[in-house]
Structure 1
Amino acid sequence: MDSRNERPELEPISPKPDIGETQPLLDRSPPTSNTTESQSSTKLLSTRHAFSILVSLQIGSGIFASPAQVDSNVPSPGAALLVWVAGGLLSWTGAASFAELGASLPLNGGMQEYLRYIYGDTMAFLMSWIYIMAVKPSSMAIQSIVIAESIASVLGGPTPAAEWVLKLMAITALFSMVLINSINTKTTMRLNESFAVIKMATVALVVAGGLTAFLAHLINSKTSLSGSKDWFTRNWFQSRPTVSEGHTIDWSKLGAWDMLGHYSAALYAGLWAYDGWDNANFVASEIRDPGRSLPRAIKAAMTVVLSCFELVNVAYYILLPWDTLSANDAVAVSAAKSLLGRRGGILITILVAISCAGSITSNLFSVGRLTVAAAQRHYLPAFLSGRGFPTSKKTDNTDLVSDNESSVPKTPPKIIFDAPLPANVLGLFLTSLYILLGSFHTLLLFVGMAEWVFYVSTVVGLLVLRRREPSLDRPFKPNIVVPGVFVVVGTLVIARSAVFAPVQSLVLGSLLGIGGLVGWVRR
């Protein structure tokens, strides 16, 4: 079956889709005559606006947790810093590719809508299915675990028997965030704004701590403020044993294939920290003169984010002993404790916990709306599209519209809480399940594989679209080498990690199979 026949609502294709006819999936109001005017007004965003959006999306909780996973899968600190550079460059190629799609196809819904436009409805359904059932819940599970481990680190560190205590703490933190984010949209957005400021402040404090230790050592090499002695007594590129999943890795005995698997795992951990670059497509559809301004915003944003991540990791290696960093998921807390003592550790714990809570809030907001949109598209049961508690029992929109004007109520039912409560409950259940069954390391690999299957599929679709619709207006079009590198490297990383992590691959394959079956039955 021709997949293009599955999206009749998008055909015939014009040289540039009419953005006036593109409505948000969650917008239940009919199109108005001034829709095009309001859409075009959003084109007034500048390069500076695009830059700030991209930076705030990428700097999140990952930089406080994933460095240990990168370090544990590479032989030296120098190699870890190179992995962070590679992750930043790969993310830049993805952001540039998504920016082309965002400028060419200003369709609300992001990657889901690109996949539908290029491949058809089935692929868009699979993307929604995997993100709702796996990617977002796993990401929130990781962030909840980081909160629990950060608190445990300040309290003295858990014993091996305290694993379930940590999981209980993580679920409690998750439940609290779901409860807060189920009030209304305004509360969620205010929380997001506050959390963004705290994230940047935490990054600045960690970098300042590393810089303080560096300067203190230059002034007095015997001072206790110089952090760990490893950074000025050992070779940054010399191999040393690391700890991964409780096992010590002797890098001198690893073959090339096994070493590639560890490097792939390290790259996934770094890419999870950079996650957020895929939202560049939303910027591309709204920025003024995207063909010229967007590349500037992407280059500047990726330069700033990559530099921040490099500086933070250098600070970690200055403040912490190298032999312990790979086994420490609460690396930011431990770094603060090493320089400022217990009080400093408590301060950073609070900031890291708030940063992770902010990431949970962002994920809850996005997956909740994605679930509602998927339910409205009939991808999921209709009850998952419910939002809030109306004062009237008549919540169906059809009750508010009639051919007879006199039957239209003067005021619609008042919504007390407008958050997508059924979707939030589903997210709470799935995330709690991942917390109970998974660990930081296994979930990180799982999220990476699940996300990158669709990232690569979308950029492959970009190349397909260039051949299928060469006349499509493309205000921003990077050299074909950019998406080509992304596809090749992304495919290799997915393939090797699938072999290196068979359990996660089996779970992901099972979810894709179930999703395909559900999609077939649905059709």
Structure 2
Amino acid sequence: MEVGSVRKRRDNQNGIIGHEGVGVSCPPPPTTTTKQPPEKATALQDDVGLLSGICLIVGTMIGSGIFISPKAVLVYSGAVGPCLLVWAACGVLATLGALCYAELGTMIAKSGGEYPYLMEAFGSIMAYLYSWTTVMVLKPSSFAIISLSFAEYASAPFYPGCSPPKLVTKSLSAAAIFLIVLVNCFSVKLANYVQNVFTAAKLLIIVMIVGAGIVLLIQGNTQNLSNAFEGSAASFGAIGLAFYNGLWAYDGWNQLNFITEELKDPYRNLPLAILIGIPLVSVCYVLVNISYFTVMSATELLQSPAVAVTFGDRVFYPLSWMVPLFVVFSTFGSANGSCFTAGRLTYVAGREGHMIKILSYISVRYYTPAPALLFNGLMAICYIIPSDINTLINYFSFAQWVFYGLTALALIVMRVTRKELHRPVKVPIVVAVLVVVISCYLVLAPIIEKPEWEYLYCASFIFSGLLVYYLFIHHKFSWANKIMTPITMHLQLLMEVVPPEKLQ
């Protein structure tokens, strides 16, 4: 049901919601001549500054991966030297990809990440397949996994000597999801404040690990870094898998493009936040890995269940408890960033008619995409129910690089088809070509190295979105509208949300 301006009174005949509450007529306008403050349009507000943008990138990229288990990169790269090179190369690739996104984000200043770029370059179907895959699987399941990591580390001190019960970790994970969604629904500024605080916390523990590593290097603990390339004999496909796992830890470099409409001065702050945030994370990742090797050999690192915890036990004792505590902070901040950006993609997809309309509505009280945030949270809670969803995420992650490659290809296509668009940031075309080529390699290498039926299941799910698109979006069956209209009306009244509007 389409609803008009929030400043109008609710009328039972036309279904318009009033500003003062659902189902209650607004009081008459004041008769005094007191000047009233200007009223905000019911739209996303540009409340995210440069510092918050940097914190969103850094806070979302640095999750639990760098603290818990970077050993997958070591397994596939084969030796310490190639392992460190892969970590550095992943940072370079993430920066190149983000530079392509900086051009796209300043050229098409719309929220929703890859969605508006794929829509502009390739049309509605490609954009829909992206939103279908990301909204239904990638974003909520990633949110769920980060929350489960948070729950495992938060509950571990209460169960010394054994693993916490599944019911406890799942319940705590669901509580974390609920709290994070609540914070993001209430206030963009509050969500940014939470992100900034937890980003500072995770950077503090990284500084501590890097600082300890530098001291150990000065003291001569370099035996694990000598002959760093000895025994390295990784195959073509194995190197691809090493990059695959490294880039999973870097995932989040594109998060600022999901909230372009909420950035203050996006033409300046978007590229600047990218050029500060991603190299900062890259340097941190390489230095942290070097620090690990100052106290652990390659064999010891591979045997460690949680690398940062083992490092803390050997270096920070008796203050080693700080490492798991800061991992909790890190995962909570990363989950908050994931929720913040996922809600914007769902909101934009609903606004474009690729998801149900209620998901594109804005809270009249808090100016946040509350329905989209709640939907993402509910989906994430569904994903924490199975015993192990890590396998599911691993097989769907290759789809993410399909869309990364397509987005870089969109930049190349629009250099030809949309020459008239203003480009405040313009990267060399060779950068976009390189990202496309590497994306193809990263998609195909894991399948060639270790073909699994699950990749076929994943592709089948993605293309099943075409059936949904054909039935409900292309043809727009009238019976679907008859069902959704009363549901939309009641949800709208319950959540006090309205369609986004623009100031005239």
Q: TM-score, normalised by structure 2?
A: 0.73
Match among 338, 355, 364 for residue 330 of structure 2 = 355
Q: Does residue 133 of structure 1 match 2:136?
A: yes
User: Unpaired runs of 5+ in structure 1?
Assistant: 1-27, 219-225, 241-250, 389-411
Structure 2 CA distance for aligned equivalents of residues 200 and 168 of structure 1: 31
Is the counterpart of residue 453 in structure 1 residue 428 in structure 2?
no
1:212 corresponds, among 211, 215, 218, to 215
Superposed displacement of residue 139, structure 1: 1.9
Check if 1:80 corresponds to 2:83: yes
Selected match of 2:379 from 418, 427, 432: 427
Paired with 1:476 and 1:431, the residues of 2 have a C-alpha distance of: 38
Q: Please state whether the residue corresponding to 1:236 is helix, strand or coil.
A: coil
Cα deviation digits, residues 279-317 of structure 1 (max 9, x gap): 4547988686959x9766644544332211110111111
For residue 294 of structure 2, the aligned residue among 314, 318, 326 is 318
Q: Is the 8 A contact 1:54 1:301 kept in 2?
A: yes
Distance across 1 between alignment mates of 2:368 and 2:270: 39
Matching residue of 2:146: 143
Q: CA deviation at 1:465?
A: 0.8
The answer (yes or no) to whether the contact 2:128–2:469 under 8 Å persists in 1 is yes
Partner of 1:107: 110
Distance of 2:315 and 2:436 partners within structure 1: 42
Deviation track 1:114-162 (CA, whole Å, cap 9, x = no partner) reads: 111111122222111111222123322432343355468776665xxx6
Amino acid at match of 1:436: S
C-alpha distance in 1, partners of 2:195/2:420?
Answer: 40
Aligned partners of 2:285 and 2:186: how far apart in 1? 31
> Is residue 275 from structure 1 mapped to residue 251 from structure 2 by the alignment?
yes
Contact 2:141–2:380 (8 Å) recurs in 1 = no
Q: How far apart are the structure 2 equivalents of 1:283 and 1:96?
A: 16
- Alpha-carbon displacement from aligned partner over 1:299-352 (angstroms, at most 9, x marks no partner): 4544332211110111111133421323545221221112123x4332110110
The answer to whether the aligner puts 1:437 opposite 2:388 as a matched pair is yes
Q: Work out whether residues 106 and 266 of structure 2, in 8 Å CA contact, stay in contact via their aligned partners in 1.
A: no
The residue that corresponds to 2:231 in the other structure is: 239
Q: Map Cα deviations across residues 149-205 of structure 1 (whole Å, 9 max, x no partner).
A: 5468776665xxx6xx56545423321212212434335443223212112112112
Q: Match for residue 176 of structure 1?
A: 175
CA distance in structure 2 between the partners assigned to 1:193 and 1:146 by the alignment: 20
Structure 2 vs 1, CA of residues 318 and 332 (structure 1 numbering), >3 Å: closer, same or farther? same
Q: Report 1:83-98 matches (<5 A).
A: 83-98=86-101
CA shift for structure 1 position 413: 8.5
- Tell me the residue number matched to 1:472: 421
Structure 2 match to 1:368: 343
Distance in 1 separating the partners of 2:366 and 2:282: 46
Deviation at 1:79, TM superposition (A): 0.9
**What letter matches 1:311 in structure 2?**
L
Cα distance between partner residues in 1 of 2:366 and 2:323: 42
The DSSP-based 3-state class of the residue aligned with 2:375 is: helix
Q: Who is 1:408 aligned against?
A: none
Distance 1:475 1:386, change over 3 A: closer
2:71 matches 1:68: yes
- Deviation of the 1:379 alpha carbon: 2.9
> Is the contact between residue 449 and residue 498 of structure 1 (CA under 8 Å) also seen in structure 2?
no
Tell me how far 1:479 sits from its aligned partner.
1.3
Contact persistence 2:121–2:414 (CA under 8 A): yes
SS of residue in 1 equivalent to 2:224 = helix
2:103·2:425 contact (CA, 8 Å) conserved in 1?
Answer: yes
The answer on 1:516 being equivalent to 2:466 is yes
Q: Which residue of 1 aligns with 2:447?
A: 498
SS of match in other structure, 1:106: coil
Amino acid aligned to 2:432: P
Cα deviation for residue 94 of structure 1 reads 0.6
User: Taking structure 1 as reference, are residues 459 and 170 closer, same or farther at Cα in structure 2, changes over 3 Å only?
Assistant: farther
Asked whether the equivalents of residues 230 and 322 of structure 1 are also in contact (C-alpha less than 8 Å), the reply is: no
1:198 aligned onto 2:201: yes
- Residues 199 and 351, structure 1, Cα contact 8 Å, conserved in 2: yes
Gaps of at least 5 residues in structure 2 are: 1-17, 20-37, 475-504
Identical positions, percent: 28
Aligned-pair CA distance for 1:513:
1.9
CA distance in 1, matches of 2:308, 2:375: 32
- What is the distance in 2 between the residues matched to 1:43 and 1:462? 28
1:312/1:423 CA distance change after superposition, 3 Å: same
Tell me, in whole angstroms, the C-alpha distance in 2 between the residues paired with 1:56 and 1:425. 19
Whether the aligned pair in 2 keeps the contact of 1:386 and 1:422 (CA below 8 Å) is: no
Contact 2:122 2:410 in 1 (8 A): yes
AA at the equivalent of 1:194: V
CA contact (8 A) 1:133 1:430 kept: no
Are residues 1:330 and 2:333 paired?
no
- Answer yes or no: is the 8 Å Cα contact 1:60–1:356 preserved in 2: yes
Deviations 1:232-290 (A, max 9, x none): 6x5322227xxxxxxxxxx6xxxx7xx22322222122112222322454798868695
Distance 2:266 2:149 in 1: 40
Aligned to 2:496: none
C-alpha distance in 2 between matches for 1:238 and 1:80:
12
Aligned residues: 430
Partner of 1:437, secondary structure, is coil
CA distance in 1, matches of 2:368, 2:421: 44
Q: 1:489 to 1:509 in 2, by over 3 A?
A: same
Q: Name whichever of 316-325 and 143-152 sits farther off.
A: 143-152
Q: Structure 2 counterpart of 1:446, which letter? A: Y
Task: For 1:13-52, list aligned pairs within 5 A.
Answer: none
Deviation for aligned residue 1:501: 5.0
Give 1:481's aligned residue: 430
Shift of 1:498: 2.8
Residue 478 of structure 1 aligns to a residue in which SS?
A: coil
Instruction: Provide the rounded CA distance (Å) in 2 between the counterparts of 1:452 and 1:383.
Output: 29
Amino acid at match of 1:175: A
Structure 2 residue matching 1:344: 3-state secondary structure: coil
Aligned residue for 1:462, secondary structure, equals helix
Q: Secondary structure at the residue paired with 1:73?
A: helix
Q: Using the alignment, how far apart are the partners of 2:260 and 2:211 within structure 1? A: 34
Structure 1, residues 59-99: CA drift from partner, whole Å, max 9, x if none? 44332235122122220111111101111111111111111
Does the 8 A contact of 2:112 with 2:259 survive in 1?
no
Q: Find the aligned partners of 1:174 and 1:423 in 2 and give their Cα distance.
A: 16
Contact 1:85 1:306 in 2 (8 A): yes
Contact 2:295 2:311 in 1 (8 A): yes
